Structures are given as C-alpha cells and as structure tokens.
Amino acid sequence: MVKLKIFLVLLLLTGFIFYQCSENPIDLNPDLVGSNVLGTLKDTVLYAINDSSYQTESIISTQFSSRLILGSVTGFEARPALRISNFFRVPDSATILNAQFHLVRGGVSSKGMASPMMVAIRPVLNAWTTNIDEVWDIYQQNIDPSASYATFEINPEDTSDILVELNPEGLDKVIDWYNLYWADPDSISPNNTGILLDFQNSNFLQYFYAINTTLDTTSAKLLNPGLIISFSLPNDTTIITDTLEFNFDATIYIGEIPKIADRDYIATLFPHSTLLQFDLKAFLDRLPQDVSLNSANLQLFIDKQNSLIDKNLGISHTVTLELDKITATTVEVDSAKGRFLETSAWGPDSTYIEIKSGDSRRRLATIYLQSQLINIDSTSGFVISIIDVLNPPPDVITNERNYYSYLAFYTAKDPNPALRPRLTIKYWVPPPPRL
C-alpha cells in the first residue's frame, strides 16, 4: 500500500514537471544572443565580365502556332497562308453561291503610331504544309501577285472580326477546291494550294487566331480562321450557310532583327540567345566554404529604343546552362535539361528584366549557381533566351512561334556600369564553430 502511494506521488510529480515545460526552441531575447552566435545573411552583386549573343536558328516552323501574323515592323514582314481541304459539310450536289473569309483578331504590335494597311487575298501557286517548306524560300514566287480574291483594310484600332466576301474569281477558286474534294474525299489534292494574305505597306503587326486555337472558353466563340459558305441543294430554294475551318495555316515571314553594336539580343521567330559570364570563381574564392546559397537574381537592362517589346502579349525567356565554354566556336545550349526559370518579371521601372520573385530566384541559387560553383572549373556562364512555355492559356501568347519580339540588352562593357548585366547572390554565412 505504501509502495503504491509512492508510485502515485512519483507519477503526479513527473506529470507536474512536464506540464510546466514550455516548447523548444525558446524565442530568446536578442540582447542575450551574442553577436557571433548567429550567422549572417549577406549579398554580393556580380557584374558580367563577358557577354555575347548569337542566333540559334534562321527560321522556325509556325505549324503549331496558335497565332497568325500579318504586317511589317522594323525589317520584319509576315504574311499568313491558309488552305482548306475539307468540304464534307457541303454536299457534293450543292451549288455554292457565296464565300466569306473570316478571321478573328488576336492583338496588335508596333514600334510607334500604327496606320491602316490594305490587304489582298492572293492565290498560292504550289501546295505547302508549313512555312519552312521549300516553296516559301522566295515567297513572291509562290503567289500570283496579279490576282486577288478580295481586298480589305485593317485598322489597328479595330478589334472586330475580319469578314470579307470573296470576289467571283475567289468564289470560283473555292468551288474548284470543293470539286477537288468531292473528286477524291480521302486525299488532299496538290492543286488545292490555298491563299496568302498579302500587303504592300505596313507599320504594325496584326495577330489573328490560328487553326490551333481552341474555343474561347468564356464565350464559346470559334476563334479559328474559316470560310463561311452559302449554298443551295437541288430542287430546294433554301440557302444554307455553314462555316468551314481551314485545315492548314502558316505565317510566312522574312527579314531579320535590326541589331546595333554593343547590344545583346534575345528574340522570337529569329531565335537569339544571350550569353553571360560572371566571375564565379573569384566569388567562390572570397567565400568561406560552408556558406549556404539562399537566393539569386539576374537583372538585364534593356535598350528600349532598340527593342520590340510587346507588353500586351508578354514575353518569356529562360535561363539555361551552357555546356561549352563561352568562348567556344560551337556553342551548345543545355536546353535539354529543361531547367527553365521564369524571368518574365519586369523591373519596377520597366527598364530591366529580372528573375521572377519566388521559387525561380531560389532555384537560380540552389540549382544553377550551386552546380556551377561545385564544378567551378567547367563553369562558363548563363544563356538567356526566349523559349516555349508549355500549355499556354488561349489568351496568353507566350510561345516563341506566336509573336514577334526582340530585346536588346546593354552589355558588360557598357560605359554606364549601372546598365551592365548583374547577378545578385544572397547567402548565409554561418557563425564560426564554437569549438
């Protein structure tokens, strides 16, 4: 009995002691913590020591683009081409009475004040599938400039759909395509060569939704380019109207980005990448070995006068690692690793781009920089380029095939040091060992 009482007393005492205990760790009054007990959060700004830019491809396919581009700006010209080959919804006994060409606008881009442009729908001479087909090497040789199926004006201020009735010559061509289809519905005739939207003078780019565009989910409106066909059937006076979607499209584009000296470039459609090299070895040599990288930011200042910045459409680019030395004659970009960082954040005053705040800055530090610092002898720098963004929403054009844009960056040798590319690295220096 006595032992039982002792047991109970011990139990209660132990419970009381632990009830009194507070959670650890204790939030200690800062005055009680010595200055050398805690680590220090620091940052270092590195300026690029070498830089360059180069064109990675001369032209890219727009086959899976969700936008068509029409117009001209700063030496760049773009013309949409379209083919329609499926007339299944117009019976073979029908009589086509009328055809209207329909496009839905998808935005405008220009360098300055834009003025209306006249557009002509011209016949294409040879069959094609994409814009990089050989027949488009000299696009003028693949159209009949003397023929026109319709002409219309595009006003950059206007956002309404393009709806143009084809002239009799154009209607005859549609009837030809219709007959070719029903002659052999299972194959596409090489004589069905399509049309091209042509212009003579333009100082802006007009975007249209392409055949890869899906429905506008908010309005359920069909955004794809199409032909609105009116037809009648034998022994029936009813006129039936139906919209047929184009089956092929492409943006036939020519030109080059207008470069000036002492600038680095990134661009869409004429893909350019910018190489940047920072003296990470010197940075590493200055550091205690046991620091921890926490965050990093890359800032590139933009020469806006010599850039085409489409703020409405947005721009995205990525930082990837470079495999070869920056001085190598053959530069390879390690894009296969898929180490994409979003750098589409604009600086507060829109004069520079920087790594998006949040995860991207953490990843820049812990994935990109850390791996370069670990392999410091084979470290060569960063490659900045505009790349595809997977699964863009219909309203956001972020795919490099979908729009035309280029950015001119101030270089590492710019007379104004404040405009040079910079890399800010944030790191934690631990306290000295206690023992």
Partner 1 sequence: MKKFLLSILLIFSLSVSGKSLSFFSSANDGIGYHQYIPSVRGLGMGSTGLALPDSVSLNAYNIASWRYMNITRVNMLMRINYVQTDFPGQSFNTSTGKFSGVQFGIPIKKNVVGFGLSITPYTDVDYSFTQNLTNELGSYQENVFYEGSISRAQVNLSWSPHPNYGFGFSFNYYFGRIRDRYKLTFTSSENYNTNYVVEYRFKGPGFSTSFDWNIINKINLGGFIDFKPKLNFNRVINSPLTFTQQKTTENGKLPIFWGIGTSYQLSPRIIVTSDYANQKWSEGLDISGLNTQNLTDWYKWGLGIERSHDNNRPKVFINKIDLRAGFSLGQIGYLFNNEPVHEYTGHLGFGFPFYQNRARLDFAFIGGVRGDKQKNLAEEKFFQIFISLSAGELWFQKLR
**Residues in touch with partner 1 (CB under 8 A):** 2-4, 6-7, 10-11, 13-15, 17-18, 20-22, 24-34, 36-39, 41-43, 287, 289-295, 357-362, 365-366, 370, 373-374, 426-428, 430-431, 433-435
Q: How far is the CB of 42 from partner 1 (least distance, A)?
A: 7
How far apart CA 293 and CA 370 sit, in angstroms, is 7
Q: How far is the CB of 90 from partner 1 (least distance, A)?
A: 56
Residue closer to partner 1, measured from CB, 98 or 366: 366
CB atoms within 10 A of CB 228: 15
Which residues does 225 contact at the CB level (< 8 Å), separation at least 6? 68, 80, 82, 102, 103, 104, 208, 209, 210, 211, 245, 246, 249
Among positive and negative, which fits the CA dihedral 108, 110, 112, 113? negative
Please check whether residue 387 is in contact with residue 317, taking contact to mean a CB–CB distance below 8 angstroms: yes
Q: How far is the CB of 290 from partner 1 (least distance, A)?
A: 5
Residue closer to partner 1, measured from CB, 28 or 390: 28
Nearest Cα residue to 56 out of 372, 388, 428? 388
Please check whether residue 313 is in contact with residue 265, taking contact to mean a CB–CB distance below 8 angstroms: no
- The Cα-based distances of 42 to 105, 358, 364, 421 in angstroms read 50, 18, 17, 20
Residue closer to partner 1, measured from CB, 152 or 283: 283
User: Which runs of E-coded beta strand occur in 218-262?
Assistant: 226-232, 239-245, 248-255
Please check whether residue 69 is in contact with residue 80, taking contact to mean a CB–CB distance below 8 angstroms: yes
What phi, psi does 268 have (nearest 5°)? -100, 170
Q: How far is the CB of 192 from partner 1 (least distance, A)?
A: 54
Residue closer to partner 1, measured from CB, 348 or 415: 348
Q: How far is the CB of 389 from partner 1 (least distance, A)?
A: 20
**351 burial type by CB count under 10 A (0-12 exposed, 13-18 middle, 19+ buried):** middle
Residue closer to partner 1, measured from CB, 29 or 58: 29
Q: How far is the CB of 346 from partner 1 (least distance, A)?
A: 16
Q: How far is the CB of 58 from partner 1 (least distance, A)?
A: 38
